[in-house]
Amino acid sequence: MSDIPTYGLHIDGQRVETGQWMEIRNPQNNVVVARVAKGGSEHIDQAVAAAKRSFESGVWSRLEPVDRSRTMAQIAAQLAEQIDTLLAAEIMANGATVRQAAGFHVGLASGHMNYFAELAARYEFERAVPPALYPTLGQSIIRREPIGVCGAITPWNFPLVLTLWKIGPAIAAGNSMVIKPDEKTPLSLLEFVRIAEECGLPPGVINVVPGVGEEAGVRLVEHSDVGKIAFTGSTAVGREIMSSAAATVKRVSLELGGKSPSILLDDADLDLAADGILFGCFLYSGQMCESGTRVLVPRSLHDEFVARLVDRAKTIKLGAIDDWETDLGPVISGAQQARIMELIRSGVDEGAKLVLGGGVPEGPEFEQGFWVEPTIFTEVTNDMRIAREEIFGPVLSVLVYDDEEEMLRIANDTIYGLAATIWSSDNERALDLSKKLQAGTVWINDHHQVNPSAPFGGFKQSGLGRELGVDCLDEYTEPKHVYLDLSGKRESRPYDLLLSHVD
């Protein structure tokens, strides 16, 4: 164990040992790269107590927003300064290539944290509404106050930046937090909390308890002192969290699964669309909730466009994740690899045509770890499992349509509604089509473009609530109405509706 780094839980500013360890394995070769203390329900209780003490002390919650903003800006600056440390911690656990991680997984962290820092300074924590003239003269003030202790359960695919989407608005509003990261990928978040406290974030404001969902996650959701749960993950687990949170009537926001359509119109730039659709589906081996895993193609363009997709996909280079020349890395785990391969087999069994990939790449470097080739199916219908289930792997299904009515029916025929993409050279036509798609984000002639100023979340069973955007602090505050009487006189008030006036 001495040669492998070890991490503890992080509670009230301290490393906490538990006597139990979880192994962190590099998905490219299945080698153990770190060990992390395993937290259970009792450690969640300790972390919630620390967060509650921190909140009630006012050491962070009662700071002026501009002071919270200043500390958060320092954290953002340090995320940029220590990007190499964060990159190493991220990719060794989740298998992202260093190029992708530098651009997305870790590269977005500093800018997004800086956005939340700016929001902390300019968010409208208090506003007056027009005075009431009847039944008496009075002034109402609306205050947005922090909830208290907020819990977050975060995923393995973007363990740093997707957690920051919760941390940023929560602490900007003055809350304290307990975070249960995915047990496979807690390293970059543990590095983050170290950086944050070095920048002046008080101990207890952010507490991190790695552990398994059935123990630590369940306790966090059920805890009566936790006022809000934010979760990113599968729709199935999201349903369970929503149900469990109802027992204590806590606020819940859920960012869940997707089966996003990429819609090719007959006037699209085919070269641009081919590259964009492959980027939309295969980036990070398709392990992104908004990946465009269904491409809808006009029948007249089908053969030509599929040929372009296959030719370009053949140029994707799989290899070592720390090599800047590598395009695509492994999937996260053996269990995930097995599930992807089972779904690929189901596509073949249900009559889809496999035109690229479908297996494990050949070569000694792929004999260990969890690898899946970029895979493309044609002759897919929307009732097949590969068209309906979220695969979370590098699998693209091509579906054909004959007219806009059929295209919209296929695109919207899903329990999900996270994102969609339109490829067209006619902006007006594409914008009009965007109104008819049931999706929380619609990209036109691009994919995976996340703007921190715009809300992110889904329709239908893709989630509840929104992250990012100018109003994201609303999810982490409670509105309070304060009424101030301005009449000053007993006779001007409506008390005689109950009590007769006595001279």
* Catalytic residue numbers, as ranges: 255
Question: Rounded to a whole number, what is the distance in angstroms from the first to the last CA of the chain?
Answer: 85
Contact between residue 131 and residue 139 where contact means Cβ atoms under 8 Å apart: yes
Here the tokens at position 225 are 């002192």
Please give the Cα distance from 254 to 249 (Å, whole number).
15
Torsion over CA: 216, 222, 224, 229 (sign): positive
* Three-state SS at 242: helix
> Residues 267, 271, 274, CA angle at the centre, nearest 5°?
95
User: Residue 482: what are its φ and ψ, rounded to 5°?
Assistant: -115, 125
The sheet with strand 261-264 has its strands ordered as 353-356, 375-378, 395-401, 294-298, 261-264, 419-423, 441-444
Contacts (Cβ under 8 Å, ≥6 apart) of 319: 325, 326, 329, 365
Please give the Cα distance from 130 to 332 (Å, whole number).
54
Here the tokens at position 93 are 């656990």
Contacts 24+ apart (CB under 8 A), 399-406: 399/294, 399/295, 399/296, 399/297, 400/296, 400/297, 400/298, 400/299, 400/302, 401/296, 401/297, 401/298, 401/299, 402/298, 402/299, 404/433
Please give the Cα distance from 43 to 94 (Å, whole number).
25
